[in-house]
Structure 1
Amino acid sequence: MTQPSDDPAATGVPTCYRHPGRETWIRCQRCNRPICPDCMRDAAVGFQCPHCVHKANQGSRQNRAMYGGERSADPRLTSYVLIGINAVIWLVITATGGARSRLADVFALAPTGLCALDDGSGRYYPSVNDQATCAMLPTTTWHAGVADGAWWQLITSVFTHVEIWHIAMNMFALFLFGPALEGIIGRTRFLAVYLLAGLGGSVMVLYLSNENGSTVGASGALFGLLGALLVTANKARLNSQWLVQNLMLGVIVTVVGWQAISWQGHLGGFLGGAAAAGIIAYAPKGNRSLIQWGGLAALTIGLVWLALVRIVQLG
């Protein structure tokens, strides 16, 4: 005579794959293996086994960028979008008169307003510093500056180009350096670094450039990308020789063409990008995202405050 078995598996009853002696009718939603109450893990729908949860967590960690945030599925995408924005603005400026385009005057970074002659010569009345007086003079146009309330120029100038060689060189540099940095820090942090570098360059222009001049171009933001790449490479102890070489090349070009190139924007952009990347790369892992975004917000506030101080001085 055969005694009945106490083993659920022997009677055809499903048992936990990790605890064979435990009867269960619950299955993992991912792998469909039977799991007992001790092995059940809450999921969005139903329950999962510990093995599937572990695999999902591993995949999640692999999808994280080096310094937090989600890794970009395509690190080139943001750079392509930025290149597209710059190209569209350049095309509109070219179609509306190039150097004489009103849009170029509106978007370019000018510390103070100018009362310029309409003959395209670039001449202006240095003694006229307000729109009302300029309106009384014949064949003149008032070009507002940041000190006159054109605050948007701090950012729009970073996306503005007039000469084709200028946009071609800058967009090629963005194509080279942008995807490399986005691949390291992720999309949102990359965009934050780019914009803060551009803002840093604009603030430096306000302080060190000719008050009656104007500045356009993404060069400051691009020097910021170089600064950010140097900081992140140094933090990760990677070989940064090619970055130093490109930085030295940029410095040489800036020095040689200092009369036509905004070294102020380059310097401010480099410092702004390096500072933003330093906040991202050196933030402690505990509460990393909170510290990073808090630090970037503080940097933004600091740059805006510096701009406001200079605007008051210029006014």
Structure 2
Amino acid sequence: MTQQQPQPGLARCYQHQDRETGVRCTRCERPICPACMVPAAVGYQCVGCVRGAAGAARAARPRTLAGGRISANAGLVTKVLLAMNVAVFLAVLARGDQLVVDLGLVGYAVDGGSVFAPNWIGVADGEWYRLLTSAFLHQEIWHIGFNMLGLWLLGPPLESALGRARFVALYLLSALAGSTLSYVLADQTQLSLGASGAIFGLFGATAVLARRLRYDMRPIMLLLAINLVITFAWSGIAWQAHIGGLIAGAVVAAGLVWAPRERRLPIQLGVCALVAAAVLVACLIRTSQLLG
């Protein structure tokens, strides 16, 4: 059988050189055979152009200032956090002070038991969860009212600017840092609770964001100054939690919004990891002091 000679004038597929074709990609105009044709609005496109268009579409998706995904409901995480705090507050009202004793922040204290076999409680006794659970506890209506008002006002703008995942990281790291500084500096038998550390973290992050966007910083700085005055003037407030949350919130936010676009995610993860590591090291040192 005589092999059919290729017809003159027909191009060969750019991927399959043994196949002749008269069709070209409408984007790059390279010749393509039926196996490489992808139907388009007009004519056919090659597989490479289709993949490139899909990648460009993903890259072109709008992102927040910190690189997070833009969502339709930018305040969803804020509402969830608010609902969690209110739910725990209602649980405290229903169960009484025992829930506060079980979940509140205490360093190392004796809770009942006999003289010969005391019942120790606290972070130093291995109850590390108190560092986080205490940040969702409130006993007084004015306490949760002020904290939730701050969350409601500061949360949605930050969530919109950072994205949901980064906002959650900011909130939780601020809460943990506030609890940690209380654990390190306050009396080990002092019981403390409240979301104030996380809220002050949002204050610090808002100040950093305002600086990044070159907004007028006087309103946020005035509001922060007022809250700091109240922190140190009002007896009974755990100022350590406020300061710890404020510092952590500012550091985390700076890493999120000032990271260069080319290495944004590794730098953001690194900053969050450094804050978490500082919290862990401080807790370990304080625990060794209390148990030593």
Decide whether aligned partners of structure 1 residues 133 and 183 sit closer, same or farther in structure 2, where only a CA change above 3 A counts. Answer: same
2:248 to 248, 253, 272: 272
Structure 1 pair 91/23, CA: closer, same or farther in 2 (3 Å)? closer
Q: Deviations over 1:160-213 (max 9, x none)?
A: 001111111111110110111111111111110111111111111112212221
Mapping of 1:301-312 within 5 angstroms?
301-312=277-288
Q: Following superposition of structure 1 onto structure 2, how do residues 84-233 of structure 1 map, counting pairs within 5 Å?
A: 84-97=83-96, 101-115=97-111, 133=115, 142=119, 144-233=121-210
Gaps of 5+ in 2: 1-8, 10-21
Identity over aligned residues, as a percent? 33
Matched residue, 1:73? 72
Greater mean deviation of Cα atoms: 67-76 or 191-200? 67-76
Instruction: Name the counterpart of 2:233.
Output: 256
**Does the residue aligned with 1:162 lie in a helix, a strand or coil?**
coil
Q: Is the 8 A contact 1:83 1:174 kept in 2?
A: yes
Shift of 1:134: 7.2
Matched, 1:246 2:255: no
Q: Give the superposition deviation at 1:150.
A: 1.6
Moved more, 295-304 or 262-271: 295-304
Q: Which segments of 5 or more consecutive residues in structure 1 lack a partner in the other structure?
A: 1-5, 7-12, 117-130, 137-141
In the alignment, is the contact (CA less than 8 A) between 2:78 and 2:152 conserved in 1? yes
The question of whether the paired residues in 2 share the 8 Å contact of 1:224 and 1:274 is answered with yes
How many residues are matched?
A: 269
Structure 1 pair 188–134 and aligned structure 2 pair: CA distance change class (3 A): farther
Within 2, Cα distance between the matches of 1:233 and 1:94? 38
In structure 2, the partner of 1:3 is none
**Which amino acid is the alignment partner of residue 67 of structure 1?**
A
- SS of the counterpart of 1:114? strand
Structure 1 residue 69, shift from structure 2 partner: 2.3
232-241 vs 189-198, greater mean Cα deviation: 232-241
Question: Who is 2:16 aligned against?
Answer: none
C-alpha distance in 2 between matches for 1:168 and 1:148: 32
* Alpha-carbon distance, 1:135 to partner: 5.7
Give SS of 1:200's match.
Answer: helix
Q: Is the 8 A contact 2:27 2:49 kept in 1?
A: no
* CA pair 19-273 structure 1, distance change in 2 beyond 3 A: closer
TM-score, normalised by the number of residues in structure 1: 0.77
TM-score scaled by length of structure 2: 0.82
Please give the alpha-carbon distance, in whole angstroms, between the structure 1 residues aligned to 2:50 and 2:28: 19
